[in-house]
Structures are given as structure tokens and as C-alpha cells.
Amino acid sequence: MRETPLEPGAFAQRLGPLGFITGIFLLNFLGRVSLGPLMPNIESGLGLNHAQAGALFLFISVGYFVAVFSSGWFSQRLTHRRVILISALSVGVMLCLAPLAQGLYSLGAVCLGLGLAAGLYLPSGVAALTSFVRPRDWGKAVAMHEIAPNGGMVLAPLVAELLLEGLTWRGVLALLGALSLILGLAYARRGRGGEQRGTSPSPAAVAELLRLPAVWLMVVFFSLAIGASLGVYTMLPLYLVTERGFDQSWANLMISASRLPGLFMAFGAGWAHDRFGARSSLVTIFAITALATLGLGLLSDGPLIFAIFVQPAVAVCFFPVGFAALSIVAPPHLRGVAVSLATPLAFVLGGGALPAFLGWMGEHHSFGAGIAVFAGLVGLGAVLALLLRPAAKEN
């Protein structure tokens, strides 16, 4: 493997390396979120109820929490590039093991391992792209990187519907695992960027970051944003099929189409961050997301379909702004640690606890009421964003 560092350059000069790690992030993300559109089939195949289905995402998030928080220990010893490679290969292995699951606990163990494998990627991926793109272009670079989760949310329902014509849910996950293994091996030979070693989250490094109020705010913001985009998304097929009476194929196709605007909105959000700054961008994003999420939980028929399209298009705008702001807030030598600190708890809350809560609400009350409660919390995020005071941006 090449280990010669790739020096910072303009956005247009680094499209190749950006594209490679974005592809790895896409399969990393797709492997996890595909459980959502496959969940009606998984429920019937394994005899799970709504609360147990939601718990599977909690298993993923716990593994993700552990891996993201400890990823600095690996990158300090192996370099960010090698950690990205290990993550890609490990995600492939865990997805290939999924067909062996026979119940809640065996599939839960696979989900825990999948979270561990996937969580290694993000801190090293963000540290890699900020190492070979000049600071003034970070907003655009992170926006391109965010094509992966946005694209994953578009592709997951389509992949589910297309492949379920000839495969079971087990076969779909195994196929995704094989693709992740292939791309990981290709990255081992051709990938660039991230040749630097990371910084492990030592007590001193964590203490330095925890003294920054902006870092605490970013933890809250990431929790709300992950919940609004990923947490709601994972339970949306069950909500639409079991509570709103949608046909499963129609629900999955509509959910896929609703994520298409996010591919373009993310670039607009990256530009807005570079133009207007983090605070103004975040206030606007959270306020609109709260209203759209409330509509998602309370509306029906045509207005509900409108909310299904508006809510993800706005929620996804957080991430280019959030990651760029986190890179600005944290000292340069602690950017990887900042991601390791801010995102694990946020993912547990937004990507694990929220789906589990929505599953519980769907089993005992209603999915819609649970979504409406969460919308109120997102609204508080707009108020808290007024307190954000990032440090001066590097040039």
C-alpha cells in the first residue's frame, strides 16, 4: 500500500480520492440502512414485533458507539487509510454473516458487529478528506462525502424492491457484503489519502475538547440531525405500511424518491456554510426540519406525502454544515478525536434509541405520536443553535 501523504489541494484537484472514500462510505452506510426497507420481511421471517425490530437498530448503534470512540486508537497505530480499509472489509464480512441469523439475538449479534465494523470508518474518513483538501473547500468536500449517506438512503429501498424479486432479505444483505469486500480490496490497491496517523482519544485530548462549549453543542446537534434523517428513516417503512396503510412496494419507492433532493441539497448546504457560517445555517435547518417532522407524524394522505419529501431534503442539510463546523471548532490535531467524541453518543441516541422508541410507540401507541414528540426536540435545536460560537475559520 502507498503511504506517501497526499498534500492538501483544491476541491477540483482531489475529486479522485474523494470519490473513492465516498464509495466506501456509500456501501458502509447502505449495508446498515438496508435493514429499514427490508424490515417488514425480516419481521415476518423471524417472527419479530415492532419493538424488537426497533431494537435491532439499537444493537447497530451500540457497536457504532464503541467503534467510533475507539477508532483513534487504531488510526494512531495503523494510519487513517488502513482503518478505512479494515472497516470496508469488516462490513463486508458482517453482512455476509447476516443470512445465518435465526432469531432476534443472533441477528442482533450480527447488527452489533456491523455497527462495530462501520463505526471505524467515519473519524478516519473525515480526517482523511480534511487532510488532502484545503480548508477553504471543506464545505464542498464534506458535501461530496455526504453523497454517500444520502445516496444510500435513495438506493436502499430500490435495492430492496429490485432484489427481493429474486432473493430473500438474507440474500440481499449477503450481496451487499460481497460488494463491500470487493471495493475494500480495490481501495487496498488504488486508494489515496489518509496516510497520516490519527490521535487516540486520550484523557488529555478528551478533556481539551470537553472544555469547549461548542463541542457539547455539536453533540446535541448531531443527535437531533441523525435522529431526523436516519432514525426516522429506519422506521418509516414500518410506519407507512402498518399504520398508514401503504403498500410496501409503493412505500419503499416513495421513500427512495424522497431522498433524491438530498443529493443536491447537501451541496447547497455546504455552499451556505461557506457563505453564511455555521450558526445561521443550523438555525434555519433545524427550524424547517422540526416543522416537516411534525407534519410527518401528524398528517395523512396528500399532505403526508408532501412531508415525506420535504423532511429528509431539509434534515440532510445538517451534515455538511455540522462536520465542517466540527472541524473548525476542534483544534487541527484533534479533529479525528472530535468526530470520535461528538458522533458516537449522537448515533446511539439518534440512530439507535430513537428507532427503539418509535418501535415501542408503534407497538403500544402509534408511530405518528412518537415522531411528533421527536419533532418538538428538533425545534429546540434551532434555539440552541443560536448559542454556537465557532472559532475563526482557517484559510
Residue 198: per-residue pLDDT: 65
Residue 95: per-residue pLDDT: 95
Q: Quick one: average pLDDT of 23-52?
A: 88
Structural contact between residues 300 and 348, judged by C-beta atoms closer than 8 angstroms: no
Question: Taken in order 67, 72, 74, 80, is the CA torsion positive or negative?
Answer: positive
> pLDDT band at 124, cuts 50/70/90?
confident
Q: Could you give the CA distance from residue 282 to residue 324 in angstroms, rounded to a whole number?
A: 12
CA 127 vs CA 39, 71, 83, 101, 291: distances in Å? 33, 12, 11, 35, 33
Q: In the chain, what is the greatest distance between 2 CA atoms, to the nearest angstrom?
A: 57
Boundaries of every domain in the chain:
11-385
- Per DSSP, the residues of 237-261 read HHIIIIIS---HHHHHHHHHHHTHH
Please state the φ and ψ torsions of residue 133, each to the nearest 5 degrees: -120, 135
> pLDDT band at 318, cuts 50/70/90?
confident
Q: Quick one: average pLDDT of 312-316?
A: 88
Site of grid cell 451487499: 176
Angle 198-204-207 (CA atoms, 0-180°, nearest 5)?
105
Give the number of other CB atoms < 10 A from CB of residue 213: 12
In sequence order, what are the beta bridge partners of 9?
133
Please list, residue by residue across 79-108, b when 16 or more beta carbons sit within 10 angstroms of its beta carbon and e when fewer do: bbbbbbbbbbbbbbebbbbbeebeebeebb
> pLDDT band at 393, cuts 50/70/90?
very low
- Per DSSP, the residues of 15-82 read HHHHHHHHHHHHHHHHHHHTHHHHHHHHHHHHT--HHHHHHHHHHHHHHHHHHHHHHHHHHHHH-HHH
Q: Could you give the CA distance from residue 307 to residue 295 in angstroms, rounded to a whole number?
A: 6
69-101 pLDDT per residue, tens: 777 777 777 877 888 999 999 999 999 999 898
Top-level class of domain 11-385: mainly alpha
> pLDDT band at 395, cuts 50/70/90?
very low
Q: What is the pTM of this model?
A: 0.76
Residue 232: per-residue pLDDT: 92
Please state the φ and ψ torsions of residue 99, each to the nearest 5 degrees: -60, -15
Q: Quick one: average pLDDT of 332-355?
A: 78
132-180 pLDDT per residue, tens: 777 777 777 877 887 788 788 889 999 888 998 888 899 999 999 999 9
